[in-house]
Structure 1
Amino acid sequence: MARAVAATHVTGFDYVVCGSGAAGSVVAGRLATDPDVRVLLLEAGGADSGPEVRLASSYPTAQFPALFREYRTAPDPQLGGRSLVQLGGRVLGGGSSVNTMVWARGHRDDYDGWARTTGDAAWGYDAVLRRYLRIEDWHGVPDPQRRGTGGPVHVAPAADPSPLATAMVAGAAGVGIPAFDDHNATMMEGRGGAAIANLIVRDGMRHSMADGYLHPLAGRPNLTVLTGATVDRVVVEGRSAVGVEFRRGGRRRTVRAEREVVLSTGAFETPRTLMLSGIGDADELTRIGVPLVAHLPGVGANFVDHSLVATCLFEPPVPVPPRNNKAEATFFWPSRDDLDVPDMQPFLIEIPHLTEAHAGRAVPHAWSLSPAIVRPRSRGRLRLRSADPDDTLDVEWNPLADPDDVRVLARATELCREIAHSPAMAPFVARELLPGPVRGAELDAFLRAGVTSYGHASGTARMGTDDRSVVDPQLRVHGVDRLRVADASVMPTITTGNTMAPCVMIGERLAELLTS
């Protein structure tokens, strides 16, 4: 089957969609279902046909550099001078083609909060749930009110999970965290729980958003997909976006959009493209010599990500081979008794998950239970070093800037150790390798040496109506006509859990707006 539609020229399009990730694939695919709408989809990466992408058991990591763009933070004194690396998907399907395949829709409170922030009920949980019902082809315990069937995205609990994963769910139940059949649905309408993870895996193969929304349309004359096309800037005439400049095959090209331009290049590249187009903080743009188009100081601000600590590490008495995506069980739970929503999401990782600080503690067949925070208070910022599109992006994350985030991660670590040492998990623990019964300063040092990115960068072109927001509730860039954004950058607050599914939902919302 063809993986993309080739093109010899780039003219005559109604919409230009930049980025084929979890939201961009949705927008382009939904628009192209109308044969009278001409859509161009630009993707900086290549095809998604390699076994390192297709096989769920061998999802790619940084040893496949062609599939990723790397973003590195400056050395952080709060982390002992460590510099953290974050990766963005650079392949057809974007992050959905290279991530851990976890389908986490977020919590009811996330979306009701978005509706309050934007004043738009279309972002509230009830409306969002209707979108998810349309998106999903659910293959788990039936729940017609909360899970959709027949949609473009194949979702199911991890098939035949490792006994280590089922033991983790039982261990969580043993310490008071209720077990659920589905880690979305009712579990994410209350305080949380533990469950085998929902995955976008079908018959051992990854089911990316390119699989769901683009490949079924291969051969349609009104959809053109160009891979290897790096977008440099949006072309703005007066106050309207009229096209984009991009590079492909060593040539620089300009393509016009008769209706609208859509940026779906993610929380790093979308603000970069906006700033290179003259849309951002006026002082920052003057510093790098980019003419101002629209003063939006929120571009690149409000950077937020989930922190994942590497790791609580255990050696089993006998090897326990990983299955599926090697990360089949998780739990969501509040860090305090007075919270009624979860702010922690540790994940069982069936192989060692370590930073360079702890790499020497790994042994063959060890497994990890990684503490994590999913409602962080810490915020950072992205900045351009120059007007060169290939220059390094300065990433200021500050993952532990807020003391409460440290508290939550400390509590998550204690809970992970308690679950790992529960009777249900005893058959899988010969010894604890990290961190041991640490407290106080030792626990703090463990967290700072182990904090990593969950890979959920968000918020850098956030949606809202105040003077620090970048897009309005209809995802239109403030002050620039015919330009919209649909990706994790628009999130007013980061969702509770992995961010792929919410990005698909955001893409569906924009498709609604553009086709209604």
Structure 2
Amino acid sequence: MYDYVIVGAGSAGCALANRLSADPSISVCLLEAGKRDRSPLVHIPLGVAGIMPTRHANWAFQTEPQPGLGDRRGYQPRGKVLGGSSSINAMIYIRGHRSDYDAWSQEGNPGWSFDEVLPYFKRSENQERGANEHHGIGGPLNVADLRSPHAICESFIAAGQQKGYARIEDFNGPDITEGVGYYQVTQQEGARCSAATAFLTPILDRPNLTVVTEAHATRVLFDGKRATGVRYRKNDQGHEITANREVILSAGALQSPQLLMLSGIGPRDELERHGIELRHELPGVGQNLQDHIDYVTAVTSPSKETIGLSVPGSWDMLRAMNDYRRYRIGKLTSNVAEAGGFLRSDPGIDVPDLQLHFVVTILDDHGRKLHAGHGYSCHVCLLRPKSRGRVGLHSANPMAAPVIDPGFLSEEEDMQKMVRGFKLMREILSAPALASYRGRDLYTADVRTDEEIREVIRQRADTVYHPIGTCRMGHDEGAVVDSELKVHGIDGLRVVDASVMPTIVSGNTNAPTIMIGEKASDMILFATRSSSSSREKEQSHQGSQPVWPVEATV
């Protein structure tokens, strides 16, 4: 029996567990379906290359066939380990544009404008460059420059400058409009700083915090319209756990809506189709799925400096292993996507709607197809797609994967912008600064017309791993949670993760999801202390003992 039960130890869940359990009078249980984050592939930055294409610490979901992608099934890697997707991502620290958050607020979600969420970004951050009005120091999440960036990234940035783009030193600074540069990363002394490393590992000895791994949540428990606990499976056995105050779902944009539906909360027709008793009808659960559609081009290179499969590359990697072991520098500290930029698909728009990730190796099908030799790749993704998808159920079996249908390129405007993005990316990659590295274009050497570009996008585009929006925050009939992230119509239940975003942010989603966890913790603690204060006043008149005795948890 705990005050709070959190389902999911990902980016938001780890931040929540840390902040809530900082109060010793509050007991917290954190459930995670994956294992402890002991794998070296998690902590060594370049280890991402071994995780993303496999099921190691990875749910490795597939989408439904996508008409916009020639009926191909897309790939959806998500973290199945302490730290969630922050333990398997490319560690890029990006917040998005201030207009993203201002739009949330303007849509009827008070407290979520950029100026109101910036303090939570700063609170979580330990910016190695130092503090200023946009950055914080002393927070759990270490944000750093890459230790050993590849020289080709400097040439990529120079290529962008040759095409008229500014060099950006801080993509999270004031009023960033357009430009290229190096990404900062969530690393500390050359190792990954996941949400688990930052928020969870330092506090595992707190007596009021219990972390249960390999615990797959199967449904939320209720007393009428109040959430009272969680049922989960561990070691092929069922268990139940009680939440005195709240159950908090932080299972991510794909699995938080799945768990709500398995628990009888969601669209009536979806639940009836699978024989699930309707507890509360919320038609928006699982709807509004948004993701950044992304195309990757790859070019071979005569240079052996990039990461590649070759005899020189193997010797280089052996040296890199020694450099990492002794000094925490070298190729193993690479996040692979070291540089990039933000571009506008149309000069007439104010805020960039395209993002580039420049990759220091040949990347094909999320790393699941390998190529001999050396080269480089570049992603272009659409930051504010119009296309919408959904998450549903394959069955009432809680161990089954959810239905994932992103609806990629279902809106024609998205394809038009991706075609423009492809052309802008190609212009940069063809600039003189990259001439000494440039070899053969692997996929698009003969692609010239707009229709040819469309076809190669349909053949090769997929996610860049940023699903959001399936438990949308708002106050209309399609919203799932309110601006305090409480599930509409249900007491004692919140959703705190990327699924609550009404619209997708203009960049990578890890830092914004941690911010959501930080802000939610303050809202929850404020409500807890207000409630406790009221009860204590009431009981002081009755001569009662304090209301919330601390339960020791092991």
Q: Please confirm whether the aligned pair reaches a TM-score higher than 0.5, indicating the same fold.
A: yes
What residue identity is the alignment partner of 1:22? Answer: S
Q: What is the rounded CA distance, in whole Å, between the counterparts of 2:376 and 2:194 in structure 1?
A: 27
Which of 37, 60, 64 lines up with 1:48 in the alignment? Answer: 37
Bigger-Rg structure (1/2): 2
What residue identity is the alignment partner of 2:231? Answer: E
Distance 1:278 1:358, change over 3 A: closer
Q: What is the rounded CA distance, in whole Å, between the counterparts of 1:118 and 1:160 in structure 2?
A: 44
Shift of 1:40: 0.2
Shift of 1:62: 4.2
Shift of 1:251: 1.2
- In structure 2, the partner of 1:306 is 292
Q: Decide whether the 8 Å contact of 1:31 with 1:39 is kept in 2.
A: yes
Deviations 1:473-516 (A, max 9, x none): 00000000110011110000011111000000000011010112
Which of 511, 514, 520 lines up with 1:510 in the alignment? Answer: 520
Q: What is the rounded CA distance, in whole Å, between the counterparts of 1:36 and 1:293 in structure 2?
A: 32
- In structure 1, the partner of 2:532 is none
What residue identity is the alignment partner of 2:156? Answer: M
Distance 1:358 1:98, change over 3 A: closer
* Secondary structure, aligned partner of 2:253: helix
Shift of 1:353: 1.7
Deviations 1:7-63 (A, max 9, x none): xxxxx3100000000000000111011111100000000010111111112124245
Q: What is the rounded CA distance, in whole Å, between the counterparts of 1:252 and 1:359 in structure 2?
A: 39
Which of 406, 424, 428 lines up with 1:397 in the alignment? Answer: 406
Which of 67, 89, 93 lines up with 1:99 in the alignment? Answer: 89
**Does structure 1 residue 489 correspond to structure 2 residue 479?**
no
**Does structure 1 residue 33 correspond to structure 2 residue 22?**
yes
Distance 1:356 1:41, change over 3 A: closer
Q: Decide whether the 8 Å contact of 1:118 with 1:463 is kept in 2.
A: no
Which of 126, 147, 151 lines up with 1:137 in the alignment? Answer: 126
- In structure 2, the partner of 1:478 is 488
Q: What is the rounded CA distance, in whole Å, between the counterparts of 2:242 and 2:368 in structure 1?
A: 51
- In structure 2, the partner of 1:65 is 55
Q: Decide whether the 8 Å contact of 2:52 with 2:88 is kept in 1.
A: no
- In structure 2, the partner of 1:344 is 354
Q: How does 1:103-122 map to 2 (within 5 A)?
A: 103-120=93-110, 122=111
- In structure 2, the partner of 1:435 is 444
**Structure 2 stretches of 5 or more lacking a match?**
308-330, 527-554
Q: What is the rounded CA distance, in whole Å, between the counterparts of 1:423 and 1:86 in structure 2?
A: 36
Q: What is the rounded CA distance, in whole Å, between the counterparts of 2:378 and 2:64 in structure 1?
A: 27
Q: How does 1:85-484 map to 2 (within 5 A)?
A: 85-120=75-110, 122-140=111-129, 142=130, 144-186=132-174, 189-309=175-295, 311-322=296-307, 323=331, 324-355=334-365, 362-436=371-445, 437-484=447-494
- In structure 2, the partner of 1:6 is none
Q: What is the rounded CA distance, in whole Å, between the counterparts of 1:241 and 1:299 in structure 2?
A: 17
What residue identity is the alignment partner of 2:23? Answer: D
Deviations 1:194-220 (A, max 9, x none): 120110112221111111111111211
Length, aligned pairs only: 499
Shift of 1:160: 2.9
Over the aligned positions, Cα root-mean-square deviation in angstroms equals: 1.7
* Secondary structure, aligned partner of 2:442: strand
Q: Decide whether the 8 Å contact of 1:173 with 1:179 is kept in 2.
A: yes
Q: What is the rounded CA distance, in whole Å, between the counterparts of 1:355 and 1:245 in structure 2?
A: 36
Shift of 1:455: 0.7
Q: What is the rounded CA distance, in whole Å, between the counterparts of 2:87 and 2:215 in structure 1?
A: 17
Distance 1:464 1:215, change over 3 A: same
* Secondary structure, aligned partner of 1:332: strand
Deviations 1:209-260 (A, max 9, x none): 1111111112111000000000011111111101010111121011110110
* Secondary structure, aligned partner of 1:244: strand
What residue identity is the alignment partner of 2:303? Answer: V
Q: What is the rounded CA distance, in whole Å, between the counterparts of 2:462 and 2:391 in structure 1?
A: 18
Distance 1:254 1:357, change over 3 A: closer
Deviations 1:88-131 (A, max 9, x none): 110011111111111111110100001111340x2001111111
Deviations 1:354-410 (A, max 9, x none): 2399969x4511210122111111111111122111224222222111111111111
Deviations 1:162-199 (A, max 9, x none): 1111211221122122111112112xx34232120110
What residue identity is the alignment partner of 1:127? Answer: E
What residue identity is the alignment partner of 2:488? Answer: H
Q: What is the rounded CA distance, in whole Å, between the counterparts of 2:4 and 2:68 in structure 1?
A: 44
What residue identity is the alignment partner of 2:352? Answer: P
Deviations 1:143-174 (A, max 9, x none): 51001111110001222311111211221122
Q: What is the rounded CA distance, in whole Å, between the counterparts of 1:357 and 1:257 in structure 2?
A: 41
Shift of 1:81: 2.5
Q: Decide whether the 8 Å contact of 1:315 with 1:363 is kept in 2.
A: no
What residue identity is the alignment partner of 1:257? Answer: A
Q: What is the rounded CA distance, in whole Å, between the counterparts of 2:122 and 2:369 in structure 1?
A: 42
Equivalent pairs: percent with the same residue? 37
Distance 1:45 1:193, change over 3 A: same
